[in-house]
Structure 1
Amino acid sequence: MTKRSVLAILVLGCLIGGALTGLLFYHLGGPATPAAPGPTQPPRLAEATAAAPPTPDEATGIRIYEQLSPSVVNITTIEVSYDFFFEPYRESGTGSGSILDTDGHILTNHHVIEKADQILVSLTDKLKYPAEVVGFDEIDDLAVIRIKAPASQLKPLPMGTSADLKVGQHVFAIGNPFGLTRTMSHGIISSLGRSIKSRAGYIIDNVIQTDAAINPGNSGGPLIDAAGRLIGVNTSIFTTSGGSIGIGFAVPADTVRRVVADLIQYGKVRRPWVGVYGQDIDPQLAGYLKLPEEIGVLVAYVEPGSSASQAGIQGGTQRVRLGFSRLIIGGDFIVAVDDRAVTGQADFTSYMLNKNLGETVTVTLYRDGRKIRLPVKLIGKERGYQM
C-alpha cells in the first residue's frame, strides 16, 4: 500500500469520527443557540400584615404634633457685621418660637434675637414675616417678638403650669434643630428644680431638665406635656459634642407666665431693686477673713434708696489687700435668703430679681459675729432694675 493510500485512509477516518462525535453530542443535549427570552416573573416578596393601630403613646405623639406643630414658628435672624477692612457682611442664625396669641406675639429666647438687625418668622404658610422686638428679659433668657400676620395663620399654643410636674412625665420638644423646621423629639422630665446660668451670667432657678433631643435651632421652642400644654421654653443643653446628649434644660412655664405678662404690657420685666454688691466667699477666703460660715456674699456696697438699704443691710468699711486683689470688708455677710443657702452674688441676685415687687423676703446674715434675720421688702426703681 502506497503512502498516498495510507494518507487518504487516515483523512477519511478523521472525517467519519468527527461526524459521529457531533451526532452523539447533539443527541446528548449539548449547547445550542439560546432561545429568545420570555417574559420574566417579578420576585415573590413576603407580604406584610396590615399595619397595627398606634399604641397609646404613639397616638399621643401624633395628636401633639398634628395639633400643636402649627403653633411653633421658625425664627431666622440676620446680623450685619464688618470684616477687617470694614466691609459689611451678613450672618444668619436660626431659632424657634411659640405663638402666644392671635395678635402676633411670639415667645422665644433672648439669646436667639439678641444681636439681630433683622428678624424673620416663618409660619405654616411658608411665608416669612418681619418681626419687631416687644421686650426681652436677659435674666431668664426670654423675649417676646411680634409679627403682623392673618389671624387665621396664628394658632396660639396653650400655656400650662410647671407647678404640678413630676419627674418621669413624657414631654415633647418641637422646634427647628439645624434649620429642620417643625421637628419633634420625645423624652421624659429627667429632673426638676435645676439651676443653670443664663448667657448673661444670671442664675435661672426651677429649670426643667429633659432627655428629649434638643439641638442648636431648638432654642426658644416649647417643651410640651402629654396634655398639650407648654410647660417650658427650651433654652440650653449640656453637651460635649455640640449636639444633644440627652441633657437639655427649659425655663419653667410659671416663670414664663410672669415674664411674658410684663413684657407684653410694659416692654420690660418690672423687677425689685436689690441694691447689693459684694464678694463671693468660698472656704479658703472665709478662713482667711475668719468668717463664721464658708459660703455666702460679703457685702461691699449698698445702693442708697434700694431694697437692701431700706432694710438696713450694711456695706463694707475698709479695704484690704489679698494677693493681687483688694477686698472691701466690714460689711454684712449674707448666707441665706428665705432659709435658702446663698452660694454667691449671682445666686443671691437672681433669687431676689425673680420675686415680685412688694414681696418681703428674709435675709440671714452675720454682722459683727452675730447672726441676724432681716425682713427685706422689695421695691422697684423707675429706671429699670439694678442688682
Structure 2
Amino acid sequence: MVFPSTARRAWIIAACALVLVGCATSEPPRPAPELLDRVAFPFTQGVPQERPQPPLRTEGLQDDELNTVSVYRDRIRGVVNITSLSAYRTRFGRPFPDSGTGSGFIIDQQGTVVTNHHVVERGQRLIVTLYDGSLYRAEVVGTDPELDLAVLRFNPQGRELTTLPRGRSDELQVGQSVYALGNPFGLEGTLTTGVVSALNRPVQTDSGFIMRDLVQTDAAINPGNSGGPLLDSRGRVIAVNTMMISPGPGSVGIGLAVPVNAVDRVVGQILREGRVTRGWIDVRGLALTPALASAGGLPVRQGILVTHVQPGSEAEAAGLRGGDGQHRVRYGPHRVPMGGDVIVAINGEPTTSVAELFASLEATRPDDEATLTVLRDGQRRQVSITLSARPGTQGQ
C-alpha cells in the first residue's frame, strides 16, 4: 500500500522530472533553480482537518509493547519528511533535476524543524511533508556542516503542530531502550527499536570533520532516516540520527546519532544568530608526520607544528611561538619553518591532526578560555589562551 503522502511526494519528484526533462552529460552543470518555479506544487492552504488516530488497543500487549505503541502515537505527528529539489542546466542548456529525501522533527509552533545538514545542503527548494500528507515550502534558517545539523522553518498557517520534547544525552546509559522515527527509503512514519549500543563514538566524516561523542544504536537507521529523532522510552529526543556504518545500502545494526545536548547548543545558536561561531587559535600550522618530525629533530611524532602566529592576535598575547624562519626543512615541495611550538593537546584532549584540532574546539565560543599543552625547546608546558573567532562563516 502506498500512503497518500508517499504518493504526493512521488508526484512532486515525477513532475519535476517531466518539466525539466533533459539529458545529463559529462559537462559541469550550472544551477538553474528558476526552472523549479514552473512546477505547480500542491502546497497546503489553510488549516486542514486533523484525522483522529485509530483507537488504542491494549489487549494482549505487554507493558513494554504498550509503551512503544504509546511513544509512537504521541510523537509520530511531530516527525516530518523533507524533500530536497534542485534543477541544473548543462553547458548546452539542457535541463535536468536532482532530488533527495530525509527526515526531521518539529521543535516549536512556528514550524521550526531540526534535520541533518547533508539532507538539505544541495537543495534549491525544500518541501516539508507532515504526517497527514500536508505540504509546506521550507527555508533554511542555518546549518552546521561540522555536526551535520540544519534548522529549517515552514509556515504552519495557524495549525497546531506536534512538537517533540528533548531529553539529556549526558544521562544516557548503554543498554537503555531507544526508538528511531523517520522515513527510511521514503517509507514515512517508520519506527525501529533498539538500545544504546555505545556512547562517545568518534567518526571522521567525508568532509574531514571529526564528530565526537556520537550515540551508537542498533535501531535500524537506513537512507531516509537522516535527520530524524532518536527517542528514549519516555518519548524524548536524545539524539538526531545522522549515519549508519554498513558494507551495503541497508542497516546492519550500527547507527550513529548526534547527542541532543550538542544539538540544543548548535540549534540555539542558529536560532539566535543565524549561524554557528566557534572558538579558534590564530596560528598557521600543519600536522606532524614521523618524517617531518625526524627531519626537524623533534622528540614527538604527532601534534600540530605552529609555523606562524598571527600578529596582534590572542595567540600572540598568550605567548605562542611560530617558526623562526631561519631553520627550515624540506617537506615534499615545501620548506617548512621549524622552531615553533608543537600543540599536542587542547583542554587535555590529544591533538594529532588538523581534524582533531577542529574537533577539540567544536564546543567552544570566541572569548572562551582554553589550555594548550605545547612542546617548546623539548619541554612540555601549559599555555592559557583566550580563543578568537574561527575564520569564515559556519553554516548559512
Q: TM-score, normalised by structure 2?
A: 0.80
Moved more, 75-84 or 278-287: 278-287
Q: Which residue of 1 aligns with 2:175?
A: 168
Is contact 1:189-1:210 (8 Å) kept?
yes
* Structure 2 CA distance for partners of 1:311 and 1:114, relative to 1, 3 Å: same
Q: Which residue of 2 aligns with 1:217?
A: 224
Q: Which residue of 2 aligns with 1:21?
A: none
* Counterpart Cα distance in 2 of 1:199 and 1:252: 20
Cα displacement (A) at 1:327: 3.2
Matches within 5 A, 1:1-387: 53-83=60-90, 85-318=92-325, 319-380=328-389, 384=393
Q: Name the amino acid aligned to 1:353.
A: E
Q: Name the amino acid aligned to 1:263.
A: I
Cα displacement (A) at 1:316: 2.3
* Structure 2 CA distance for partners of 1:84 and 1:335, relative to 1, 3 Å: same
SS at the partner of 1:258?
helix
Q: Name the amino acid aligned to 1:335.
A: V
Note the residue ranges of structure 2 that are not aligned, 5 or more in a row: 1-57
Cα displacement (A) at 1:288: 3.7
Is contact 2:351-2:360 (8 Å) kept?
no
Q: Name the amino acid aligned to 1:209.
A: Q
Q: Name the amino acid aligned to 1:361.
A: A
Is contact 1:273-1:306 (8 Å) kept?
no
Q: Which runs of 4+ in 1 moved over 6 A?
A: none
Q: Name the amino acid aligned to 2:223.
A: P
* Counterpart Cα distance in 1 of 2:360 and 2:298: 23
Cα displacement (A) at 1:152: 3.3
Note the residue ranges of structure 1 that are not aligned, 5 or more in a row: 1-50
Cα displacement (A) at 1:350: 2.1
Measured against aligned partners, the alpha-carbon deviations of 1:202-231 in whole angstroms (never above 9, x if no partner) come to: 222211111111111111111111111111
* Counterpart Cα distance in 1 of 2:59 and 2:201: 40
* Counterpart Cα distance in 1 of 2:130 and 2:394: 35
* Structure 2 CA distance for partners of 1:86 and 1:361, relative to 1, 3 Å: same
* Counterpart Cα distance in 2 of 1:315 and 1:182: 55
Cα displacement (A) at 1:161: 1.1
Q: Name the amino acid aligned to 1:60.
A: N
Between the aligned residues of both structures, percent identity stands at 42
SS at the partner of 2:280?
coil
Cα displacement (A) at 1:307: 4.0
Cα displacement (A) at 1:277: 3.0
Larger Rg computed on CA atoms: 1
* Counterpart Cα distance in 2 of 1:169 and 1:87: 53
* Structure 2 CA distance for partners of 1:130 and 1:309, relative to 1, 3 Å: farther
RMSD of aligned Cα (Å) = 2.3
Measured against aligned partners, the alpha-carbon deviations of 1:50-102 in whole angstroms (never above 9, x if no partner) come to: x9621222122111111111111000000112336341211110010010100
SS at the partner of 1:220?
coil
Cα displacement (A) at 1:289: 3.0
* Counterpart Cα distance in 2 of 1:317 and 1:243: 53
Q: Name the amino acid aligned to 1:120.
A: I
Is contact 1:125-1:153 (8 Å) kept?
no
Cα displacement (A) at 1:294: 2.3
- Count of aligned pairs between the two proteins: 337
